[in-house]
């Protein structure tokens, strides 16, 4: 695997964070976003992560038929997210919760710690801490009489898929796991990072790319080898000094048609140091999802979009499949869905620049794939379910 392929990951993660900030300023209604009155009940709920003394806030949607109901806890991906997973002007968890609840499945979606009405400090947390929050959500649902306690599952998008597998090996109460674009490889093994299609546009010089790549690679080596925190930070900051110069060159060299893109990229490069110093990044870079997946015994559905540039489908799905098979899991499905990007939108290229422009929030075929599989694993009326949409395996 080339150095370029590995180091694009970190560069791209900052691009995602900055793009989210910008995109969340877009306040327009998307065609798939549900509007009241809803044919189900919606409750704002609060529960405690006793371990970390954090109060988490979320929305629980409940069917209006007779319970108790199977339930799904939605787990967000990279970056601080609200309960709707609001990103690039879309609210995918709002749309997905509406879809699932109309089919008889209760859904709990939660503000990340430190986001919205949830307390805590997001910037100091790692995937392990977010797993503890998901465990607290399970414990909360177990207190409710309207939830079928043996049918509580987890659905995670992107990093949320990794977190779901971590939780599943800590709790026997996890009935199933759905990974939507969840990583199967370590952070430093992702073959092409986020923004792949945008990044290959050719307007950033090869020289700048090479210098950034070299600096990132040195920093990754420091993260892996240095155990003394103050020395780690000092060495990383010294190596990262080159980023400000590279950002200035990108701003100056970009053609007029790419000035807006250049500003986003330059700001991302300047901000990389803080991301690299975060506990979250160090954990993500070093953690191998396969160490958890090999221990997951409950049913698992793993799906990726064919045009996913952030968590490339082929390599990550194969890693997930091999880990589940190696661990002896006998009930799993691994599917690559045609023409979908990282957000499971129908896309032409899969580039980040398309996300906000696409009107679709979530592909209906992706939602049907998920809901049919969950219903199959939580109801007795299997014969009434339609078959899974066609997908590349």
Task: Give the residue carrying structure tokens 């806030």.
Answer: 57
Residue 275 pLDDT: 81
pLDDT, tens digit, for every residue of 108-149?
999 999 999 999 999 999 999 999 999 999 999 999 999 999
pTM for the complete prediction? 0.87
pLDDT, tens digit, for every residue of 269-286?
888 778 888 888 889 888
pLDDT, tens digit, for every residue of 216-262?
888 888 988 888 989 988 998 888 888 889 889 989 988 898 887 78
Handedness of CA 250, 255, 261, 264 (dihedral sign): positive
Q: Where are the domains of the chain?
A: 40-186+288-384, 197-286
- Tell me how far CA of residue 1 lies from CA of 9, 26, 351, in angstroms: 13, 37, 22
pLDDT, tens digit, for every residue of 6-59?
334 444 544 444 444 444 444 567 999 999 999 999 999 999 999 999 999 999
Residue 200 pLDDT: 54
Residue 180 pairs with which residues in a beta bridge? Answer: 157, 303
Residue 159 pLDDT: 94
User: Which tokens in the block code for residue 194?
Assistant: 């986020």
DSSP string for residues in 167-204? HHTT-TTEEEEEEES---S-GGG-SS-TTHHHHTTS-S
Q: CA 332, 108, 77 angle in degrees (round to 5)?
A: 65
Q: Which helix (H) or strand (E) holds 347?
A: none
Pairing of strands 54-63, 106-110: antiparallel
User: Which tokens in the block code for residue 377?
Assistant: 């694993």
Domain 40-186+288-384 fold is Rossmann fold (3.40.50)
> Quick check: 169 pLDDT over 80?
yes
Half-sphere exposure of 47 (CA within 13 A, CB side): 26
Q: Which helix (H) or strand (E) holds 13?
A: helix 3-23
């Amino acid at each position: 695997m080339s150095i370029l392929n590995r180091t694009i990951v970190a560069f791209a993660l900052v691009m995602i964070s900055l793009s989210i900030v910008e995109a969340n300023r877009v306040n327009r209604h998307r065609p798939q976003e549900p509007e009241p009155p809803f044919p189900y009940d919606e409750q704002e709920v609060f529960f405690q992560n006793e371990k970390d003394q954090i109060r988490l806030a979320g929305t629980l949607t409940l069917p209006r038929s007779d319970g108790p109901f199977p339930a799904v806890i939605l787990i967000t991906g990279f970056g601080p997210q609200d309960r709707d997973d609001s990103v690039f002007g879309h609210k995918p968890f709002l749309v997905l919760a509406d879809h699932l609840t109309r089919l008889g499945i209760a859904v709990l979606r939660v503000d990340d710690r430190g986001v919205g009405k949830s307390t805590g400090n997001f910037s100091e947390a790692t995937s392990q801490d977010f797993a503890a929050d998901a465990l607290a959500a399970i414990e909360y649902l177990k207190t409710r009489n309207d939830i079928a306690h043996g049918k509580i599952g987890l659905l995670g998008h992107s990093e949320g898929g990794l977190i779901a597998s971590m939780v599943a090996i800590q709790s026997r109460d996890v009935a199933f796991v759905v990974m939507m674009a969840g990583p199967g490889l370590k952070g430093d093994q992702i073959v092409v990072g986020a923004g792949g299609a945008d990044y290959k546009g050719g307007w950033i010089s090869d020289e700048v790319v090479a210098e950034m790549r070299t600096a990132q690679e040195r920093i990754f080596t420091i993260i892996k080898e240095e155990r003394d925190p103050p020395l780690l930070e000092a060495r990383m900051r010294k190596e990262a000094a080159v980023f400000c110069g590279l950002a200035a060159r990108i701003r100056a060299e970009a053609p007029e048609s790419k000035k807006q893109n250049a500003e986003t990229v330059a700001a991302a490069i300047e901000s990389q140091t803080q991301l690299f110093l975060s506990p979250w990044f160090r954990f993500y870079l070093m953690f191998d999802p396969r160490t958890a997946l090999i221990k997951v015994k409950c049913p698992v559905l793993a799906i990726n979009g064919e045009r996913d540039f952030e968590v490339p489908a082929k390599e990550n799905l194969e890693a997930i499949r091999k880990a589940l098979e190696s661990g002896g899991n006998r009930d799993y499905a691994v599917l690559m869905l045609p023409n979908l990007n990282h957000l499971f939108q129908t896309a032409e290229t899969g580039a980040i620049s398309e996300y906000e422009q696409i009107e679709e929030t979530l592909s209906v075929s992706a939602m049907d794939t998920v809901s049919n599989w969950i219903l199959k694993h939580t109801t007795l009326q299997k014969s009434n379910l339609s078959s899974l949409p066609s997908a590349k395996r």
